[in-house]
Every structure is written in C-alpha cells, then in structure tokens.
Structure 1
Amino acid sequence: MILVLDVGNTNIEFGLFHNQKGDFTILSSARYFTKINITSDELGFFALRFLEVNGFTRKDINRLVYSSVVPQLNNKIESLFTTYFSGTIVKVSSDIHLGIKNKYKNPAEVGSDRLVNASLVYHEYKKNAVIVDMGTATTVCGLNADGDYLGGVIIPGVLTASQALFDKAAKLPAVSISYKDKVLSDNTIGAIESGIYFSNFYALQGIMKKLIAELQFDNCLKIATGGYSSIFQKDGLFDIVDDGLSIKGLKHISDINS
C-alpha cells in the first residue's frame, strides 16, 4: 500500500491508497497540525495510529510519496518512514516525472503542491484548466490542454487574511467562515462574515476571469480544492470541487514514477 503526505503550512494531510495503478480511491485520510518543532517520532506515532484505526499495520505500507512546502520538515518526514516503515520514498519536486511540462521561468520555484494538482488535472481531463487551491495561501494556476503548467497567482488564504483582521482590530470578534447569500448585514458578526465571504468570492471570480482572458482559454475547466473551496461552490464559482485532489495527485505521481 501507499502512504502519501501533503505537507502544508497549516496541516499535514495523510492519505492511504492501494498500489494498483490508476486507482485513486482514497481508503482513508487524516490531518495533523503542522509544527516546525515536531519530531519524526511524533509523526510516526500518528501514522501508526492512523493505520491502526483503519485496520492496517506498518507492514502493509511499502511506499511513501510526499510533497512539502515546509522544507524544515522534509528530513523529519523521511526519517518517519525509514524508522517505522520499509520501502521506497518519492519526494515531489520539479526534477521528477510529473506528466506535465513546467513552464515557470524558474521551474524549481513552483510549490510542489501546485505541480501535484496540475499533474492529476491534466491526467484526468486533458483540458484548459484553472486550478484553485485554498490553503494557508490561495493559489490560482493555469494549465493548458497540452499539459503546460503556465504559472498563476498567489493571494493570502481565507483564514490567513481573516486572522490578520482579528489580530489587528481589537474590537472585532473572530467569526466562522461560511457561505453568505447577502452582502448587507445589520450586525457586526454578520458584517465580518459577509466581508470575508464576498471579498474572497469576488477576488477569485475576478482573478480567474482575468487569467482565462490572458491565457486565451476556451472551454476552460475551473477546479478547486482545499479546505474552504466547497463554501464557494454554492454560488457556482467552480465547475468541480475536489477536496481530495492533492492527495490523489500524489498517488498519480507515485503511479508514473514506479
């Protein structure tokens, strides 16, 4: 079986897959809060518990595939696997086979999470696409029907921007981030919730429209993943919302590098 880890700035997502090529069925997934001072043993104990609650053991795992935007954790991730498991390790970077062409000016600068998403989207759809990943930062990336990763936009994530507001404005309370159907609100909490929702909605709508025009994409597929993407689907902002896109992308990377 294959263990995949998507190491982000806020969470580390664990995913479990069968070894069969082309099978992107997520057997189970779980998130662990990202901490720079975490130890490989702490990660190892979490991984073993994750397997145990799903009816598996360390002996069932023979491959680790991971992408990371937190370089300080890379050695700990690999130490976790070599200490508690046996098998091969695949680290996603611009140097391995991704099934797409990285057209970034400096290919090594692209976050591995963005490449993972683009790789699976091209494999699955073979269409012009705009890919939105709503994490600590929100990324909006362009991918053409020929499999060229063309770059994109990085903006503060929904929670990141909201937390800055709460931190800087002492009288404003922290609120939940949720779907809103009206802009106008007659109370402070509602006004903040509306502001968070619609500022992100129209930012994404405008950026995607501008990006599609610049790239001269026809019949463009708008795909979103990440923790808050489903909130914006209610207004039809995206064609597809797939919260498991990144870990399924890691499984695809495993398939084409084995």
Structure 2
Amino acid sequence: MLLAIDVGNTNTVVGVFSGEKLLNFFRIASNEKLTCDECGILAQQLLEGIDISPREIDGVCLSSVVPALTQAYEEMSRKYFSVEPLTVSASSALGIKIVYDNPEQVGADRLADAVAAYDLYGGPVIVVDFGTATTFDYISASGEYVGGAIAPGVETSSADLFKRAAQLFKVRLEPPGRVVGRNTTDSLKSGIIYGTVGQVEGIIKRMRRELGADNVKVIATGGFSPLVAKLTSIIEEVNLTLTLEGLRIIHARANR
C-alpha cells in the first residue's frame, strides 16, 4: 500500500492507496514544529483507525512546501515504515515536460496537480487549486507544464482583511443570498466569495485568450473548490483528491 502525503502551508492531507484505489484520506493541520516521531505516531494512529497495519505500507510519496516538515516526514518514512520516501520535485519522473523558466521553483503540490490532471483528463487543461494560495496551472495538449498564476487564497486574503480593518469582523465564508449585501455581514461574504469567483473567471479567460486555448478544460481542487464551482460555469469538474492522485501516479512511474 502507498501512503501519499501532501504537506501544505495550512493543512496536510494524507491518503492511503491500494493499487489505484484511494482507500481513505485525512486532513490535518500543518505544524512545522512536528518531529519525526510525532509524524510517525500520528500516521500510525490514522492507519489503525481504518484497520490498516503500518506493516502493510510499502511506499511513501511526499509533496511538501514546508521544508521543516519535508525532513520530518522523510525521517518518519524511514523510521516507522522502513521505506525510502519519494519526495516529489521537478527532477522526478513526472511524465510531463516542465517548460517553466526555473522548474525547481514550481511547488511539488502544483506538479502533482499537473500530473494528475493531464493523466486523468488530458490536455489542454487548467488546474485551479484553492489552498493557502489559489494557484492556476496550465498543461498543454502535448503534456507541457507551461506555468500559471498564484494569488492569495480565500482564507488568507480574508484573514488579512479582518486583521487590518478595525471595524470589520470575521464572517463565515459562504455565499450570501444576494450580491448586493444589505448588512455588513452579507457585504463581506459577497465581496470575499463573489470576488473569488470573479478572480477565477477573469484569470481563466485571460489565460485562454493569451494561450489561444478556448477548448481548455478547467479542473478545481482544494477546500473551497466545491463552493466556488457552484457559483460559476467556468469550472467543469471538482476533484478533491487530485493532488493525492498525482502522488500515486508519480510513485507508480518511479517504480515501473
């Protein structure tokens, strides 16, 4: 079985695969102070909770944008599972060509998203990942990772707004009944949620025009993807486990 671990700045998602089948996945907070042993104990507890013995894990694939946790999870893999982890980078066997100016600057999560999107949906395709940052990644019809855009995430930007504006307050991030808010709570919800929808539609339309790719598919992933997808027709499909699927595919290619 494969343990796929996607370490983000805010959350870490852990998935367990048996072959191509995702058996289960878990979302936990990313804490860069976690030690190797804490990661190992947590992973074992998650596995035992779904009746899987740690001894059944024979592969670990890791994408991480938090260097301190990269090291902790790599050490955990060796100590608790006796497995040499595959840590995704631009030099991994991805099955797609990276034509970014500096391939090493592309986040491992973006690479995993790109690999999964091209493998599962073909190209051209745009992946929108709603995380700490909202990322837009374009993969061509021939399987080239061209690049994209990085914007502040929904929670990241709204948290900064609440922090800096003395008379505003934190609200539940959900769409209000109307765009024109009749009170401060609904006005904030409208600006944050419909502002995100407008950002997504605007960036994708500009990418399509710039690349001459009107037929490009748009796949969304990340925590806010279901909410945003309901409010726009530009997103064709939501795949909440896209990054984990990318890790599975990359691991399989490395072990052929």
Q: TM-score range by the shorter chain?
A: over 0.9
> Structure 2: where are the runs of 5+ without partners?
none
Aligned letter for 1:193? K
3-state SS of paired residue (1:26): strand
Tell whether 2:158 aligns with 1:171.
no
CA contact (8 A) 1:129 1:142 kept: yes
User: Could you tell me how far 1:140 is from its partner in structure 2?
Assistant: 0.6
User: Could you tell me how far 1:181 is from its partner in structure 2?
Assistant: 5.0
- CA distance in structure 1 between the aligned counterparts of 2:94 and 2:178, rounded to whole angstroms: 42
User: Could you tell me how far 1:141 is from its partner in structure 2?
Assistant: 1.0
Give the equivalent residue in structure 2 for 1:245: 242
Name the CA shift for 1:100/1:181 in 2 (closer, same or farther; >3 Å): farther
User: Could you tell me how far 1:88 is from its partner in structure 2?
Assistant: 3.2
Give the equivalent residue in structure 1 for 2:5: 5
User: Could you tell me how far 1:179 is from its partner in structure 2?
Assistant: 2.9
CA contact (8 A) 2:122 2:141 kept: yes
Q: Which is worse superposed, 6-15 or 118-127?
A: 118-127
Deviations 1:78-118 (A, max 9, x none): 11111111223111000111010000001111111111111
- CA distance in structure 2 between the aligned counterparts of 1:255 and 1:180, rounded to whole angstroms: 44
3-state SS of paired residue (1:30): strand
Give the equivalent residue in structure 2 for 1:200: 196
- CA distance in structure 1 between the aligned counterparts of 2:118 and 2:96, rounded to whole angstroms: 7
- CA distance in structure 2 between the aligned counterparts of 1:41 and 1:88, rounded to whole angstroms: 16
TM-score by length of 2: 0.96
Aligned letter for 1:6? D
Give the equivalent residue in structure 1 for 2:135: 139
3-state SS of paired residue (1:145): coil
Give the equivalent residue in structure 2 for 1:16: 16
Tell whether 2:240 aligns with 1:221.
no
**Pick aligned residue for 1:255 from 248, 252, 255:** 252
Deviations 1:174-194 (A, max 9, x none): 111113452111111111011
Q: Where does 1:86-235 land on structure 2 (aligned, <5 Å)?
A: 86-235=82-231
- CA distance in structure 2 between the aligned counterparts of 1:131 and 1:179, rounded to whole angstroms: 23
Q: Which of structure 1's runs of 4+ aligned residues deviate more than 4 A? A: none
3-state SS of paired residue (1:27): strand
CA contact (8 A) 1:62 1:88 kept: no
User: Could you tell me how far 1:48 is from its partner in structure 2?
Assistant: 0.6
TM-score by length of 1: 0.96
- CA distance in structure 2 between the aligned counterparts of 1:204 and 1:12, rounded to whole angstroms: 24
Alignment identity in percent? 38
**Pick aligned residue for 1:58 from 47, 54, 60:** 54
Name the CA shift for 1:147/1:180 in 2 (closer, same or farther; >3 Å): farther
CA contact (8 A) 2:112 2:250 kept: yes
CA contact (8 A) 2:33 2:68 kept: no
The aligned length equals 254
CA contact (8 A) 1:179 1:232 kept: no
Give the equivalent residue in structure 2 for 1:78: 74
> Structure 1: where are the runs of 5+ without partners?
none
- CA distance in structure 2 between the aligned counterparts of 1:69 and 1:85, rounded to whole angstroms: 22
3-state SS of paired residue (2:138): strand
